[in-house]
C-alpha cells in the first residue's frame, strides 16, 4: 500500500482519520444482522461524517432481487433499528445510491465472478480504489465455502494497490477442533492480518473504557491483584429466552453462545497485564496470556467448579413464559444448558488464589452485564454497633446503563460514629452529552481503518476453546440426564447460589 502524507485539512479535527474509499460486501444480506445492525451502522457512520465519500455496499444473498428492493429493505431497517431514525431523506437518497445487490448461491463460482466484475465496476465508476471488506454475516456452516470461493475467484487480494479484509461473525467454531479447522481454512486463503473475528462486546464503550480505566488512572492498578482483591464476579444476564433460535441454541448452549466469547473477552480485559503499547498485537498478546493461565477444570471437578441449569416456565416482564423444553425447535428431553456458573482461577502472580465467578443465563430477571471487583475486607473493624462496614466494591456496568461505580464507607451524619456504604457513580449517559456509537459502528470503522485491537486473534480463539473444550468433555463424561431447573424470571438454579455461598460469598444483586 502506498503511503501518502495525511490530509492536512484533517489536522485538529476530532476525527483525524477516515477510512480510504472501499466497498463492503455483506454475505447474508437478507439476514437479520444486515438489516438490524450492519447497514444501520454504515448509515450512522455516514451521518457522523466518518465514511469516505467513495464507498459502496454490495449485499450478497441467494434471492434474486433488484438493487432498489434491497435499498428499500435497508431503509426499513434504518427506520426501525438505527440509533438515528427515521432516515434523513436527502442523506438517505445519497447513501442509497451506494447500495447494490449481487444475487448468488454461496457455492456458485459464477456468482463470485459476477461479484468480482461488480467490484471492478465500482472501482472504476465510484473510485473505491480496490479496497474491499468482506463481511460473513451468514450461519457459520457457510463460512468455509464462502472463504474457499473468495480465494478461487482471486478476491482475497486487491486488484490495485489496496487492501482486502474479512470480518467473521461469531461463533468461531463450536469446539477446539472446529475452531482450528476454521482457522486453517481461512488462513489458507487470507493472511492473519486480513482476518477480523468480531465479538461485538468489544465495541461497547464500557468495555473499551476498561482499558482506559485501568491504565489511565494511577490509583487502581496497584490494587488490581491478589493482595487487595477478594474475588471478581462477571455476570452476563439476559431476560429473553431463546425465542425463535431454539434450533441453533440446542447445538450451542450458553457456554458457546456467551461464555467462550463475550464473557471470556471481559475476563481477559480484567485479568490482563498492562500492554507495552496500545497496538493490536500488544493488547491481544496480554489477553492470550490470561487464557493460557486459566486453571483447567478437570472432568472430576466439574461439579465443584461449575453449575449448569435450564429455565422452566415462569414469568418475565409480568407475562408468563414457557420453559426451555417448550420452546420451538427444542427437544422435549433437551439437556442443553441455558444457565452456567463457573469458578475460575488465573494461575499467575497477579491473580493466584483469587476466584473469578462467572455466570450467564437466559430468562434471568433482567438484562444486565456487569463486572464486579470486590476488594478484601478491612483487617479489623473499629466501628461496631449499627455500622455496616462492607468491603469496597468497584463495578463496571456494561449494559444496560454503561458506567462505573465505586462503593466505599462513609459516616452517617449524627452524634454516633455509624458507617454506611455509599456509591460514587459515573454513568456514560448522564456524564457525557454525546450519545455513544453502537458497537458495530465502532468495529466496522476500525476494520476499515485496519485497526485490529478490538478483534480476536487466532491464538486467542484457540486458547479460549482449549479451556472450554476440556469443560465440555468433562460435562459429557459426567453424563447427566437432566439439569437443575430454574423458574424463568429468577437468578438461576438454587445450586448456583449454594455454589458461591459455600465459599462464604454471595452473588451480586443486580
Cis peptide bond prior to 400, omega within 30° of 0: yes
Site for other proteins in 47-66 (CB under 8 A): 47, 49, 52-54
Q: Does 380 bind other proteins (CB under 8 A)?
A: no
| Full 3-state SS string of 21-45 | CEEEEEECCCCHHHHHHHHHHHHHH
| 403 in contact with other proteins (CB under 8 A) | no
Cβ 484 to other proteins shortest distance, Å:
34
Q: How far is the CB of 72 from other proteins (least distance, A)?
A: 19
Does residue 431 touch other proteins according to CB under 8 A? yes
- Does 8 help bind other proteins (rule: CB under 8 A)? yes
Is 10 near other proteins (CB under 8 A)?
yes
How many other CB atoms sit within 10 Å of the CB of residue 493? 23
* Ranges within 200-239 binding other proteins (CB under 8 A): none
Task: Assess whether the previous peptide bond of 171 is cis (omega < 30° from 0).
Answer: yes
Q: Interface with other proteins includes 299 (CB under 8 A)?
A: no
Among residues 86, 127, 353, 400, the one that binds other proteins under rule CB under 8 A? 127
The count of chain residues that interact with other proteins, using the rule CB under 8 A, is 35
**Phi, psi (degrees; rounded to nearest 5) at 300:** -70, -15
Identify whether 262 is a catalytic site residue: yes
Taking the complex as a whole, how short is the minimal distance between the CB of residue 430 and other proteins, in angstroms? Answer: 7
Angle (CA) 499-503-507 rounded to 5° is: 60
Closest of 222, 289, 264 to residue 356, by C-alpha: 264
- Measure Cα distances from 418 to 281, 379, 387, 411, 423 in Å: 50, 18, 5, 6, 16
CB of residue 127 to other proteins, shortest distance in Å: 6
Contact with other proteins (CB under 8 A): which of 191, 227, 298, 430?
430
Candidate segments 121-129, 264-272, 310-318, 468-476, binder of other proteins by CB under 8 A:
121-129
**CA distance linking residue 28 with residue 118, whole number of Å:** 17
Catalytic choice (200, 231, 262, 497): 262
DSSP letter for 460, please: H
Alpha carbons 288 and 282: distance in angstroms, whole number: 10
Q: What is the DSSP letter of 229?
A: E
Under rule CB under 8 A, which residues in 83-102 are in contact with other proteins? 88-91, 93-94
Applying CB under 8 A, the span of 9-17, 57-65, 265-273, 456-464 interacting with other proteins comes to 9-17
Tell me: does residue 490 bind other proteins (CB under 8 A): no
Tell me the C-alpha distance between 64 and 68, whole Å: 12
- Based on the shown chain and the rule CB under 8 A, indicate whether residue 12 belongs to the binding site for other proteins: yes
CA distances from 352 to 211, 306, 474 (A): 21, 19, 23
| Closer by beta carbon to other proteins, 62 or else 160 | 160
3-state helix, strand, coil in the chain (%, to 5): 40, 20, 40
Give, as one character, the DSSP assignment of residue 502. Answer: T
Going by DSSP bridges, is the β-strand pair 314-316/319-321 parallel, antiparallel, or unpaired?
A: antiparallel
CB of 17 to other proteins, least distance (A): 9
Closest separation in Å from C-beta 118 to other proteins:
18
Is 433 a residue that touches other proteins (CB under 8 A)? yes
- The answer to the question of residue 352 lying near other proteins (CB under 8 A) is no
Q: Does 21 bind other proteins (CB under 8 A)?
A: yes
Task: Give min distance, CB of 426 to other proteins, in A.
Answer: 9
Q: Taking the complex as a whole, how short is the minimal distance between the CB of residue 264 and other proteins, in angstroms?
A: 34
46 binds other proteins (CB under 8 A): yes
Give the C-alpha separation, 286 to 457, whole Å.
12
Asked if 141 interacts with other proteins (CB under 8 A), we say: no
Please choose, out of 7-15, 295-303, 397-405, 492-500, the segment that lies near other proteins by the rule CB under 8 A. Answer: 7-15
Alpha carbons 471 and 245: distance in angstroms, whole number: 24
Report the distance separating Cα 452 and Cα 284, nearest Å.
9
Is residue 413 close enough to count as binding other proteins by CB under 8 A? no
CA–CA distance, 102 with 113 (Å, rounded to integer): 11
Q: Which cell goes with 142?
A: 457457510
**Could you tell me if 487 and 314 are in contact, meaning their C-beta atoms sit under 8 angstroms apart?**
yes
Nearest to other proteins of 298, 423 (CB atom): 423
Is 318 one of the binding residues for other proteins (CB under 8 A)? no
Q: Which residues pair with 258 in a beta bridge?
A: none
Is 277 a binder of other proteins (CB under 8 A)? no
- Active site amino acids: 262
**Binding residues vs other proteins (CB under 8 A):** 2, 4-5, 7-13, 15, 18, 20-21, 46-47, 49, 52-54, 88-91, 93-94, 126-127, 129, 422, 425, 430-433
Amino acid at each position: 500500500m502506498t503511503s501518502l502524507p495525511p490530509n492536512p485539512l484533517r489536522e485538529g479535527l476530532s476525527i483525524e482519520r477516515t477510512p480510504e474509499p472501499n466497498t463492503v460486501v455483506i454475505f447474508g444480506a437478507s439476514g437479520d444482522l444486515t438489516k438490524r445492525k450492519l447497514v444501520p451502522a454504515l448509515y450512522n457512520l455516514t451521518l457522523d461524517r466518518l465514511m469516505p465519500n467513495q464507498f459502496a455496499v454490495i449485499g450478497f444473498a441467494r434471492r434474486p432481487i433488484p438493487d432498489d428492493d434491497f435499498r428499500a429493505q435497508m431503509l426499513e431497517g434504518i427506520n426501525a433499528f438505527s440509533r438515528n431514525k427515521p432516515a434523513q431523506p436527502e442523506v438517505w437518497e445519497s447513501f442509497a445510491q451506494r447500495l447494490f445487490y449481487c444475487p448468488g448461491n454461496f457455492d456458485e463460482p459464477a456468482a463470485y465472478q459476477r461479484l468480482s466484475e461488480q467490484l471492478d465496476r465500482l472501482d472504476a465508476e465510484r473510485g473505491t480504489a480496490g479496497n474491499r471488506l468482506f463481511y460473513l454475516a451468514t450461519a457459520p456452516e457457510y463460512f468455509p465455502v464462502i472463504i474457499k470461493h473468495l480465494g478461487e475467484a482471486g478476491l482475497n487480494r486487491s486488484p490495485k494497490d489496496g487492501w482486502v479484509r474479512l470480518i467473521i461473525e461469531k461463533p468461531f467454531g463450536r469446539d477446539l477442533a472446529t475452531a482450528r479447522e476454521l482457522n486453517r481454512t481461512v488462513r489458507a486463503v487470507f493472511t492473519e492480518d486480513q482476518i477480523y473475528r468480531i465479538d461485538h462486546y468489544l465495541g461497547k464503550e464500557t468495555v473499551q473504557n476498561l482499558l482506559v480505566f485501568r491504565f489511565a488512572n494511577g490509583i487502581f492498578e496497584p490494587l488490581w491483584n491478589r493482595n487487595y482483591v477478594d474475588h471478581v464476579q462477571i455476570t452476563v444476564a439476559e431476560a429473553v429466552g431463546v425465542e425463535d433460535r431454539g434450533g441453533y441454541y440446542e447445538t450451542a448452549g450458553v457456554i458457546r453462545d456467551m461464555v467462550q466469547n463475550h464473557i471470556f473477552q471481559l475476563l481477559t480485559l480484567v485479568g490482563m497485564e498492562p500492554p507495552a503499547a496500545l497496538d493490536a498485537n500488544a493488547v491481544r498478546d496480554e489477553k492470550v496470556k490470561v487464557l493460557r493461565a486459566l486453571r483447567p477444570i478437570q472432568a472430576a471437578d466439574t461439579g465443584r467448579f461449575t453449575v449448569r441449569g435450564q429455565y422452566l416456565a415462569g414469568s418475565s416482564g409480568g407475562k408468563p413464559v414457557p420453559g426451555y423444553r417448550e420452546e420451538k425447535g427444542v427437544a422435549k428431553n433437551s439437556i442443553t444448558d441455558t444457565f452456567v456458573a463457573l469458578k475460575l482461577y488465573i494461575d499467575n502472580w497477579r491473580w493466584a488464589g483469587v476466584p473469578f465467578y462467572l455466570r450467564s443465563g437466559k430468562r434471568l430477571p433482567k438484562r444486565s452485564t456487569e463486572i464486579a471487583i470486590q476488594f478484601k475486607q478491612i483487617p479489623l473493624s473499629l466501628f461496631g454497633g449499627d455500622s455496616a462496614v462492607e468491603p469496597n466494591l468497584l463495578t463496571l456496568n456494561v449494559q444496560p446503563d454503561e458506567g462505573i461505580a465505586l462503593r466505599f464507607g462513609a459516616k452517617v451524619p449524627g452524634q454516633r460514629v455509624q458507617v454506611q456504604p455509599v456509591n460514587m457513580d459515573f454513568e456514560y449517559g448522564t456524564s457525557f452529552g454525546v450519545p455513544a456509537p453502537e458497537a458495530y459502528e465502532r468495529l466496522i470503522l476500525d476494520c476499515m481503518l485496519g485497526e485490529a485491537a478490538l478483534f480476536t486473534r487466532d491464538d486467542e480463539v484457540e486458547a479460549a476453546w482449549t479451556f472450554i473444550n476440556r469443560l465440555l468433555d468433562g460435562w459429557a463424561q459426567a453424563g447427566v440426564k437432566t439439569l437443575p431447573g430454574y423458574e424463568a424470571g429468577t437468578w438461576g438454579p438454587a445450586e448456583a447460589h449454594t455454589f458461591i455461598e459455600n465459599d462464604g460469598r454471595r452473588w451480586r444483586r443486580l
